[in-house]
């Protein structure tokens, strides 16, 4: 993995390397504060995915692998990924309830 933009944009190596040196990129949504004052709205400067979406992909992949090659370790990984997703979703619900979702507080 190579960090192209800290926290937002990554280059991922292929597992099986070939002569082309090809890789995949992973772009997370990037927002910056706009406005003045204690609460600033965030605006998108680079569209991309979210942590939640990446976790959903990993959960799907691990469930697929668990069906083919079941083991205790896979089951634990699935549980922890699902738990991580639950906490991120709870954070969003809490931020919406506090009316701070999509805002940066100074």
Tell me the per-residue pLDDT of 46-83, one tens digit each, with 9 for 90 and over. Answer: 999 999 999 999 999 999 999 999 999 999 999 999 99
63 three-state secondary structure: helix
Taking Cα atoms as reference points, which of 43, 46, 86, 78 lies closest to residue 62?
Answer: 78
| Residue ranges covered by each domain of the chain | 50-105
pTM given for the model:
0.88
pLDDT beyond 70 at 90? yes
Rounded to whole angstroms, the Cα distance separating 23 from 15 reads 9
Sheet holding 39-46, edge to edge: 30-34, 39-46, 103-105
pLDDT score, position 106: 67
61's CB contacts (< 8 A; 6+ apart) are none
């Amino acid at each position: 993995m190579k960090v192209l933009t800290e926290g937002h944009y990554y280059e991922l190596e292929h597992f099986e390397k070939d002569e082309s040196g090809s890789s995949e990129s992973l772009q997370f949504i990037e927002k910056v504060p706009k406005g003045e004052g204690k609460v600033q709205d965030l605006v998108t400067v680079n569209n991309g995915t979210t942590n939640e979406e990446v976790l959903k992909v990993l959960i799907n992949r691990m469930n697929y692998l668990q069906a083919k090659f079941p083991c205790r370790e896979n089951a634990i990984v699935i549980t922890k990924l699902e738990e991580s997703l639950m906490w991120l979703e709870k954070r969003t619900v809490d931020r919406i309830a506090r009316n701070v979702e999509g805002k940066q507080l100074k």
